[in-house]
Every structure is written in C-alpha cells, then in structure tokens.
Structure 1
Amino acid sequence: MTKIVNLATPELNTLNVNQAASLLAYSVDLVLVINQSGMIEKVIDGSKPVHTKTQSLLGKKWIDTVAIDSQPKVNALLKTTSNSEEQNWRQVNQEMGDSSSIPIQFSTLFFQQQNKLIAIGKDLSGLSALQQKLVQSQQEIERDYASLHAIENRYLQLFNSIDQAYLIIDSLTLKILEVNKSAGFLVGDLKKIQGKLFTNLFPVKDHVAIQEYLTGSKSGIMQSSIHSTLENLQEDVEISSVLLREGNHNICLVTVKPKANGIQVGNASDQSVLVSQAIEDFQDGFIICSTNGVILTANNAFLSMSQTTQKDNILGKSFELWLGRASIDLKIILGTVREYGVIKDYASTITTDDGSSPINVVISATNFNAGKLSAVAIGIHQISKTSREPASKSDNLGKNAKELTQLVGKVPLKQIVTETTDIIEKLCILAALDLTMSNRASAAELLGLSRQGLYIKMRRFGIVDNNASDDLDS
C-alpha cells in the first residue's frame, strides 16, 4: 500500500483542513476531520458511502468508535505530528451506530497550523468478503478431502480384509493397478508386481488365452473362469474377471483362486496353523503356562532341553520342577510378568529328567489373554556357560584377591581372613540381587537369610539398589 506523505509543508500548510478533506473524499471512501483531543469534527463520505450511518460518528472520540482490537492502531494514527514524514496504512474495524463493524484501512495527515488531523479511509468490505469466501472454500476443500480420505481408507480396509486374492487390471494395457494382501501369497511382492503385465504371472503359452479372456469381459457380469498355472509357485489356479467402469475407462476386477485347497494368507484359522507349526519346530524352547505356573503346552525344543520323553509327562505340572532355583525363579518370572507385563533375558538353568547337568538358559516371558483364559508365554534360549559369567565381576574378584595377598606380612592372618569373608559375602549378595533382578525377598530366600538379615548386610557393605523391590509374590 502506498504511504501518505505529511502535508505539513510551507506551501500546503495554509490549506484549510475542511477544504483538504473535501478534496480527498473524491479519491477515498471515508474522510474524518479530528481535533487535537481526538474527537471527530466532520465526516465526509466518498463517492460510494461505506455505510448509511457514518454521520453518527460526529462528536465522538475516534478511539471510542472502533473495535477494542483496533484501538492501539487508532492511538498510533492519532500520534501523527508535523515531525512525522510519512504514515503507514492501518486496518481498523470501524463501528457504526447500528452496532455493525466495517473493515477500513486508514492513514492520517497532520495540519500543524490548525492542529488537526484528517483520517482518510478505504473500505475493505469487498476484500474482507472475498477473504471470507476463500476461507469457506478452503474449509470445504478440507472437508471434501477428509471425506475422500475416509472413503479411501474404508475401501483399502475392505479390499485387504477379503480372504480371496483380488487384482485390479487396466482393461486396455492389462497392467496390474492394485493388489490386495491375500493375493501376495500367490503372486509375490505386492510392490514389485504393480505396473507389470498381468499375463506375465503365467506361462507364455497361456498369455493369448488370458488376454482374450480379459478383453472379452462384460460390464458388471462375472465371466465363467479359465485355468492356468502361476509361474512363481507352479500351482494351478482358477481365474475369473468382471468389468467395472472407473471414470472414462474400464478396469477388470480379477480373482485368482488356487485349485488345490492350499493355505490362504487371509484365513485366520490357517494363520493359526502356521503359527502353531512354527512354534512347534522352533529351535528355542517355548511353553505356555497358567498364571500360577502350570504348563499348558510345550514345544519339541523344551522337551529336548528337559530330556522328557513324552509331552504328557510335563503337561499339567508346575514349571518350577524344571527351573534351577525352583520356586524362587518361578516367583520372579511370574511376579515380574504380573507387574510389568513382560520379563526379558532372565538368567536361570533348566534341570533334566535324566539327571544330566543343568542347561544354562535365558528366559523371556509375556502375559496374554486367549478369550477368557489368561496365560503366560515363555521363551527359553539356551546359552553357553561362559556367556553367563560377567567379566566385570570376575575382574573385581581377582582385583580383591590380589589386594588381599599384598596384605600378607603387613597385617595378621586373622584380619585377612575376616576381610576375605566380607568380600565373598558382599559378592554373594550382589550375585543374588543380580540373579533375582533386584528382588530382595527372593534374594534373601536364595541366600538362606531372613529379609531383615539381608537388609542389615546390605547396609553394612554399602549396597544400594534403586531398582530393588521387596516382593513379587502373588
């Protein structure tokens, strides 16, 4: 917007303020003559009045006739003086006598000799209405976009939730436009086949027949199916198609169905079979037990770890029978799962039914609900002996032993034995806390101490564990 240069010059300062206001009214929409106290002395409408009640502003202070948010702007306009070389335009919400508000862009001119201001204004109602229409149009576009996005999401969810394999094919080029998830089991990577020719999924000898079949599709009518073989799986399939109208061109909705009763990726029961078989053949031990530790099922790897000949020999029995520290380990595992929902890499051992050496393992578990049944899924990973021994503790023990040997000849043997006992006692307490994941109640049970006895020894050796918990028992 063009800036207004002040009229306080020797040549123009003698111009009468009312005459100047009348002249300016020809080029703007509203002119206000304002005295030194900020009161409106005269109101002159332009060629097209901004409102029918502009004369109601006479005799009022200008700052009192505008909206509250515009008062600081008017205050700045009223401060125009002879020293001001130029004045910026400011948008003001001018209120009229009937409580209506009109957006007007004002600038002011100062007449020093008469000590008055002229406020010249340009009506922004048209621009404001245009801006409002723009905002409304933008909001309507956003609503339409949100509605379209919701429809697209519903379509994708419906398309991908169908058990049957569906492909959308361009009826002219026979290129694959879209594929649902169930089709991925048959045709491979969904992203890679989009944009490829549908006929390339089948042997070359069948290309012509498939092409003729698709081009012969009729709108809205499912054709009788044809048969071919998928190249990637070498599996016989049944192909059927229906022609659909999409805008100005046609598409084919093609169904691909295996002739054999193979597994369909979208079938929930078949998915359960896959998961169950994978767990049964998994290398790590896997069991599902009740919330109190009774084994409900176990895989072959756990039978091998425990050297159990038959699965019936472990079902219905407590998991603690095969844990190295029996009830202590089970309390920690189930208590942690009950409190936090999961336990990871808990170090323990699995005892065997044939009496051979226990197996070092790390155990992870989580709780889950299957219908009305609450259960705990437990994974058991076998590890070597060396991987369980923390290097830092071995180094610490060696360091303490070396320090003790240096005391020989300097202090009595009785004192050395006492310090050795203290070191071993402290290391045993730390090891128990580590094994029980800082559960003091279980650590005390593991060491054969009372809880109070353990607390006294921890304070004596300065052992502080911020993560310690008192008990995880149910």
Structure 2
Amino acid sequence: MTTLNISQPDVTLLLDMSGVIREVTLSDAISEKGVEAWLGRPWDETVTEIGGDKVRRMVEDALRTGVSAFRQVTQRFPSGRELPIEYTTVLLGGRPGLLAIGKNLQAVAELQSRLIAAQQTMERDYWKLRDVETRYRLLFHTSTEAVLLLRASNLRIIEANPAAVQALGAVGPRPDSIAGRDFLTDVLPEERDLLQAMLARVREQGKAPGIVMHFGQTRKASLVRASLMASDPGPIFLVQLSPVGSPLPMPTQADRLSVEDLIERMPDGFVVINQEGVIRRTNQAFLDLVEVGAKGLVVGERLGRWLWRPGADLTVLLANVHRQRFVRLFSTTIHGELGASTEVEISAAGTGEAGNPHIGVILRDVARRLPPAEDANRLISALGPLTEQIGKTSLRKLVRDTIGVVERHYVRAALDLAGGNRTAAAELLGLSRQSLYAKLNRYDLGDETPPPGGARG
C-alpha cells in the first residue's frame, strides 16, 4: 500500500471513475461556502484553464497506477476566490472511485512572490551600485586633483588617479603603475614622521589639519589632506594632494645663497602672515620658539595661537600694521607647544598692496638680553644719594623718591631703545601714549633730543 506524505488536507474531493465530483470536504483553514455547487461537475471545470490538463492527467495516472504524482493547480471556488492547491489522486480499493487530496500552497506562493520581489530589488540595487561605481571611476580618473587610496595598515597604494601618478613623479601615466607600492617611498625622509603623525591623528579623531609636503624630482609642494573610510578587509585612507605655490628647486653646491636661504638662517623668528593672521611661511627659528618640529604643522595656523593673549595681541598687531604699515618693538610672550614661555619683541611690516595683503613678522627672543654695564651703573649711581637719606627721611618718602628715580631711568632707556619714537617707547613700557607723556613732563624728559636716525612718535 502506498503511503502519502500528506497531513491535514485542506481540500478532499471524492470523484467517480470519470472524474466527476461526488463529495467535497474542506478544512477549517479554508472557510468557503457554496462548494456544494461542485457536486455533479467534472473536477477539471472547477480549476483555471491552465490546470485542466493537470487534473485530467492526475485522473488518468490514478486509474492506471493507483496513485498520481503531486501537481499544483489553481482551484477556483464558487465565491470567485482562487487558491494554489497541490493535489495527488488515489484510486479507492474498496469501492469504485477516486480520492483527490489537496494542500493549500498560498503561504508558499506568497513566500515565493516575496523572494522574487527581493531578487528583483537586489538586481536593481546592484545595477544602481554599478552605475554609481562607474560614475565614481569616471570622476576619480578625470579629476585634476591628485587622489590616492592607501591601505591604513601598511600605507601601500591601493589606487591612484593619473593626477596623483604625475604629482608623485612616477614612471608611466597608467594609474595602476604604482598600485601596491609603499607610499612612504614617495615621501622625503625628513617628512615621513610628519605624515605618519597626521595619519595617526586622522585614525584617532577622524580628521586632522592638512600639511605641506614635497613630492617628485622637482620637490613640488602639495597640501596633503586625508580622511579615513571603512572598507573590507580593513580601513583605508583617502589622500588628496593639492598643489601649493611653485616647485622648490633642488639645491646645488654651486647655488648662491638666496633670500629664502638667508631668512631660513636668521637667528630671529620670521613668518609671513595674511590679513587674518594666518601663517603662510616660516623659518626654523620660529619653529624653535613655538617648539614645533615641522613647518607643515605651523603653516595654515593663526599666529595668535602662540601669543601671550591669543587673539588680543594678534588683533593689536594687525591693527597697528594696517594703520601705520609697520610696527616696531611690540612686546609679547610666545607660549610653545611643550610649555615654554619666551619673551619676544615683534617688528612687522605690510606690503600695503590690495592684491598681495601679506605681512612680514620678525620675532626676537629678548629673554636673555642683559642690560649694558654702564646702564646698570647709571641706575646705581642715581640711587646712591637716596641711600644717604636713610635716617634723615621717612621710609614713605624714600620709597616714593626711589620709584621716581627708577621710572625716570627706564622711561629714558625705552626712549633710547625706540630711537626717540614715543609710540614705540610706550609699547615697550606697556603704557598708553598719554601716560608716557605725563611721565615725560614729570621727569623733564619731554625736550630731550632723540639720537641720530630716531623719530618722535
């Protein structure tokens, strides 16, 4: 006897030998009324036209072999509802007739429909992704800005566009000519630590200020920016190289010292800033003052970052340069990145050109400046008579007279240092011009003739 793998049939039809329905039984899962209308009708008339051939074949197979194979048809109920039903037909042994047993496949059909819809959605998304990738490739390879993709774990080049290949001075115009190469081999040895420090900051914080580096045989200056992107099997760096200025010539022994060389060798700090106080150029002495190891970490930052009163001192300096075109002996304090504080005097001058609004700034370390011996002796000599008044004059008057002698001495010294320029002398002493004039009148210094080359403010 054949065992059927059917549990809880949803539709059971009792058929005669010619396939006409004699009895109908439905499960609770299918609540349909009016199925009595099927009685006396051929089974193949209760299904859709496509399922009629399947029904007739199941009847023929059951009559010939005793049981038919499972076949799916669309059963049409008297109410108009249509359900996918999987039937098998069995020949009854005890009496003439056939038994058709059906299972509702609506849940399976819905699942199949969802699967097909999901496959179609995935296919559409795939082609959208391919379209985005095609556009990315087009933009990546036609961009005039040099762009590279670096593996974050070892800084090897994954991909580079033609502009990046040209910027690095690589042989051959093909972008894949440098794929897989260690990017550090294209970086000058003295700039590698700077690059790795910037990339480490990008990895920790997601971003970092751009740095200026030099690439290729001509040492062309480029602003290097980087960002971190998630990828499989590991994160990658997107690196952009933007040209800055003109290429730096390779120095030769036959070259004479240029102005840039002289500025670089100056013992005083030197920077070029714009009207907002942003540093455009610097020398090694300034890097020593602010305790920074590379120029790339300074260029692009505001000078006020390292002044005693960030923003305030720089604002006063820029205002004076804008008004007078120059500033001389401007006193302030530089705070280094490692915590050191250095007293400096600043002299600055602007170009005065609307199309080239740059300001040159010289910062001189005055922390180790010692007063001349004769200047110190002069102050001691001036204080000598006051010592003889001890016991003859009250302490209050001695203190007041001593303050007067010291003030007169340093006001005169400031005038000497400023070349007779009262504005500069007031800045040196930290006084307003009105306060300086009051002290000049008090100590009868107002009519003193300035030294040769000096000018009154």
TM-score by length of 1: 0.44
Instruction: Decide which structure has the larger Cα Rg and report it.
Output: 2
Higher relative contact order (CA 8 A, sep 6+): 1
